[in-house]
Structure 1
């Protein structure tokens, strides 16, 4: 009887401790290195052919992302489904020009010999109590495809750029569901197509979203899995909009509280309109946070493989960023 009583007592303590976890802690617990390795491993596999925008590998990546969102329980943003199709246009390839999604630019391009590329963002949503206020958490999933003229390795796998970022967004989406709590603001989880050819997916989203002024923050991930200097394995660059210094304070406090093994380079930015998809939001005055682990010799090379990533750091960044997303979605004033 005594042993049975002790067993029941410890079981009760375990149950109570689980229920005593805060929503934030429940979300944090769901983020694992194992999941990061699985997601990056799939997206950076040779079978996806470098995920070039508008090509077969990119479409496979998009379908994989949708399947993960469905598994997590994230609903599509649009009633028609998870995909946000769009087209990019460019002059005939012998002429100078770039891919465009801006309607006025497209009208001009169509007057001459031109190219058209069909792409699609993937968008999921967790409705908030305030359904007219939004937070966007995003990363691009496309990369550079293949080059059949290359000797030996012909596939630009893009493990760091940007399978690493996609893994973070998917895990944060799952963590938000694991909290068991509805956020104050509606959270959109966005996976951009066409970033490598001009930030096309995020540009299309921001120029067509009907309430861009109601987006209260954008959290971006682009290349968050490598060590630029192996002597500094905890290094991460933390860009944020300078007019919101609390973004820097959030990360400092969370590292102190949870012991994340990160050494951030805090970089406030008056107008963060360069570098990645954050630019598409910053030009509409949306406050941004962007995680990045700096460049490396395998950037935009076929050698950007999954086995070169620091998955421990990637996992710590994802955990810290989940808390950013939690604050963006729930803090009443920032």
Structure 2
């Protein structure tokens, strides 16, 4: 009898799995365990704050490339890396770095600083080879400050290991869905955001198909609570000319019972705040998840132990559903 019961339960389980829609197969692959694995590594002391151009940042980029390889997601070009240089005018004045060719030519004529950076880019090819969507987050943070007394490492668990974990899990979810998206889906991990959105600026300035990018989904700090009394709160920025973006989230929260209380913030041209700005300036419609600032912002105390894991997972699920729509809806 026990054997027959076991066989019956297994059959029911298999039938249930087969009955799942592709979108739901992907959604069910997103987990707290996956979030903790990604944030735990990226925000560990071993990576020394993932400073742009520093060893910890390079290790982070290798980790992300290895993750895409393990998923079987192809590189966007010959390798997963998009290397680039960023220049600053004077090593004393600590001016912002630039990736604009005219600025670089000017800085090379005098005293200057240079950073050697690299974005990490993978892609799942779509049925329509001429249209793209991009899901991205910056992986760099502030590195180390040996002049600090006590903790000298800016671990950046929320800023922005949390956002990187979302991109990683969304990439896995697309693979787990088992179907080819209608549009090409690029998974992007930007370098040098903390020094002036350098990675996303370089990408948009040099992207030969930027006019074919139908939408960009961005994450920057999605694992904390600005108000502990309202832990489900999240700011949902999106391009005002695309009201479907707001409807998508409202519908998915209801359909999948997501525990989120979004502040819907349509914006004519969402150019501020994070890497979304690089794409908004290029005319690409954007969606950006953000949970507002907190007392540990840009401090060594932004650590793994303070992440709201349930919230991070719910935002990742909601944004995977956004990404699915960006990749597959005919019009928005």
Which category of TM-score, normalised to the shorter sequence, fits these structures? over 0.9
Q: Distance in 1 between matches of 2:278 and 2:47?
A: 27
Determine the structure 2 residue equivalent to 1:53: 52
1:157-176 alignment runs, 5 A limit: 157-176=155-174
Q: Choose the corresponding residue for 1:111, options 109, 121, 124.
A: 109
Q: Distance in 1 between matches of 2:37 and 2:8?
A: 38
TM-score (norm 2): 0.98
| 1:71-92 C-alpha deviation (Å, 9 max, x unpaired) | 111111112x100000001112
1:184-263 alignment runs, 5 A limit: 184-263=182-261
Q: Distance in 2 between matches of 1:166 and 1:40?
A: 8
How far did residue 97 of structure 1 move? 3.6
How far did residue 13 of structure 1 move? 2.5
Determine the structure 2 residue equivalent to 1:123: 121
Q: Distance in 1 between matches of 2:4 and 2:326?
A: 45
Q: Distance in 2 between matches of 1:112 and 1:141?
A: 31
| 1:251-308 C-alpha deviation (Å, 9 max, x unpaired) | 0000000111100000000010110000000001100000000000100001000100
Contact 2:238/2:270 (CA < 8 Å) preserved in 1?
yes
| 1:115-152 C-alpha deviation (Å, 9 max, x unpaired) | 11100000000000011100000000000011101000
Determine the structure 1 residue equivalent to 2:331: 333
Contact 2:153/2:300 (CA < 8 Å) preserved in 1?
yes
Determine the structure 1 residue equivalent to 2:264: 266
For the residue of structure 1 that corresponds to 2:146, the secondary structure is: coil
Contact 2:134/2:187 (CA < 8 Å) preserved in 1?
yes
Q: Distance in 2 between matches of 1:295 and 1:5?
A: 56
How far did residue 227 of structure 1 move? 0.6
Determine the structure 2 residue equivalent to 1:134: 132
Contact 2:91/2:111 (CA < 8 Å) preserved in 1?
no
For the residue of structure 2 that corresponds to 1:106, the secondary structure is: helix
Q: Distance in 2 between matches of 1:105 and 1:73?
A: 38
Determine the structure 2 residue equivalent to 1:314: 312
Determine the structure 2 residue equivalent to 1:86: 84
Q: Distance in 2 between matches of 1:112 and 1:10?
A: 73
TM-score (norm 1): 0.97
Q: Distance in 2 between matches of 1:132 and 1:252?
A: 29
Q: Choose the corresponding residue for 1:300, options 298, 301, 306.
A: 298
Q: Kindly tell me: are residues 96 and 167 of structure 1, through their superposed partners in 2, closer, same or farther at Cα, counting changes over 3 Å?
A: closer
Moved more, 209-218 or 96-105: 96-105
Contact 2:134/2:186 (CA < 8 Å) preserved in 1?
yes
Moved more, 8-17 or 256-265: 8-17
How far did residue 14 of structure 1 move? 2.1
What residue ranges of structure 2 are gaps of 5+ in the alignment? none
Determine the structure 2 residue equivalent to 1:30: 29
Determine the structure 1 residue equivalent to 2:280: 282
| 1:38-61 C-alpha deviation (Å, 9 max, x unpaired) | 110110001101000000000011
For the residue of structure 2 that corresponds to 1:93, the secondary structure is: coil
For the residue of structure 2 that corresponds to 1:282, the secondary structure is: helix
What residue ranges of structure 1 are gaps of 5+ in the alignment? none
Determine the structure 1 residue equivalent to 2:19: 20
| 1:1-29 C-alpha deviation (Å, 9 max, x unpaired) | x7665554443322111111001100011
1:137-152 alignment runs, 5 A limit: 137-152=135-150
| 1:197-237 C-alpha deviation (Å, 9 max, x unpaired) | 00000000001010100000000000000011110010000
Superposition RMSD in Å: 1.2
The alignment covers a number of residue pairs equal to 332
For the residue of structure 2 that corresponds to 1:116, the secondary structure is: strand
Determine the structure 2 residue equivalent to 1:101: 99
For the residue of structure 2 that corresponds to 1:231, the secondary structure is: coil
